Structure 1
């Protein structure tokens, strides 16, 4: 779902508890609304829309985006993750302001506590304020905010804290006075009553597993499918959240094939992974932020199989699997952890992480990723278009043959004028399968590559024959099959 689709979906809705439209930027009015959303269930303000829900747009939108960001970050107390973004609709720009329900209610704007009642923003009643304070007291007993006994400042990664401080100040989300690590952690509730919290350990400890063993993340590569029972690579990551996201990315880079793709906007060919790294990184980050860390039996794993990649984490999703595929607002399971990920830029647009995953896979020509949710777990599965590692049932030439794959891809692109990126990728997969296992017929390669129907394979076969890369040998009735030509052998030699 791109920006234009998102905005159009919002315009189909009516104003209510979590949505309001504005024609122009009125900082005072928007501050009240965002404060009310924080004190209620979160919400979105779309600016640049007329009363009859027509896109009018905003002049000097970039200036207003920064000015509104700075204003809301300083005017609402306590600190809250407020996302302000420019959205393009045709040739017009609008501004979308989005917040989760706040984890430190009640929030104050201009000396007042505001609340949301249907489509109205009002000052909270004494009873509503009492309820907000009561909810905050309950939140203080949340696992995240419980003291992590025995943790000292030297157990924390001060460089990782400093990165977060610097980015927060640069993005105008933090006052210069909170640059000191203890002041910073205290400001965000990660250091309370002389103790670092569990969230601080997950986020910034040098080795969180010393204090919270279940914070480890398992990454593994099972080369020949689930039934093989043999992992080529299997390790436990015991770094903090920010270190683990980088370690997971290194693991993907180590084991995932790269392919060459042609950008319609650029003349140069570019390397990419069998699943876009942006989608994988987003999936892992979502699991790290939203997993249940509270139970000693809790776990998280990232496993690469020959035909899919699975990201699993313990914890109940606040949304059903189908809802994760749509633009959504949700209350983070770990609001303090989520807030730090937001400050570091890993959560750039609240509620759009799953949408980014869907869009990246669609752009890459992959099958849609699948979420499976239960009462105790969330699993994200990325189906692969090719087989990885030592799999015998299709894919590219195999592990270690990336140079050959790149030459095949480049040869096809050079031989077929006007072919789309997807067609080149599909032809590369088919040709690699023929190179690896010559002499088979179209139904065999259909099963090997899973590229579509027999009719689709027939079309691809004809294209490869036309450019002289394959030929049919043997009896057309029974014993014949497809083989690579001498022309192709010279290319891949």
Structure 2
């Protein structure tokens, strides 16, 4: 947020996405109730050092470093926020007074603070105890998040430019006549559909952009439950002989899963015409691409089954991929 955007936010007043909290030298006791409510609803911004009526009180300048540290530490403490969601505060000087802004996106999962679930409505945070309301929150998130969902607060600077270059190089290799690889990075993301207008009418980067080009920290912040789990059961079929857990961008996830397959499955000699090809690569590159397809990723299940299970019943191999629930594809017919 720019300083002018902060001023506009204060002028607008408290609502479903904006919360003010007086905070001079310590965090408000109900701060994480609002954090939890924003994560569970549509996201929002918390301004510390501003009264309910919009009057700028300010934060003690000598306490700012500790306040920012407390926000980072407590947001990463499962006793305070479960599951954890890394947050940080940005300092602004408004009319000679310091305030702190915490921008909170909507999360892909349901969060609790002190074992309670909160929901944001109008300008208040409400504890959710009814099972049907909790189910409504879960179902809304399940139906809402898909690879085309625009994620608020994600900027171009959050992406790894090396991954964008990798995507452009793949296009150049596979389709040299396609002009996308000649575009600058921002134009490329826009033209490829990674930067688009949301259903609310605001422009932003999609969940697919985060999964393809985001840093590991960004991916974990936006989709805390994101991971791929591969198991081998060859001798110990009750547990596993080898395991790979992947929580990184989709490009590196593909390479890691393919490497795991190559480690455990032999590549038999095979000719296509007069040319030897890798039958293993030909079969499994499509399989792995299907596993990591962001369109099929569902980050909400607790204790999910492995994404890839390789079992040996000599001389046969059994490859199992669990069926995953598909999210609603927003903006598609």
TM-score (norm 1): 0.34
Larger relative contact order (CA 8 Å, sep ≥ 6): 2
Higher Rg? 1
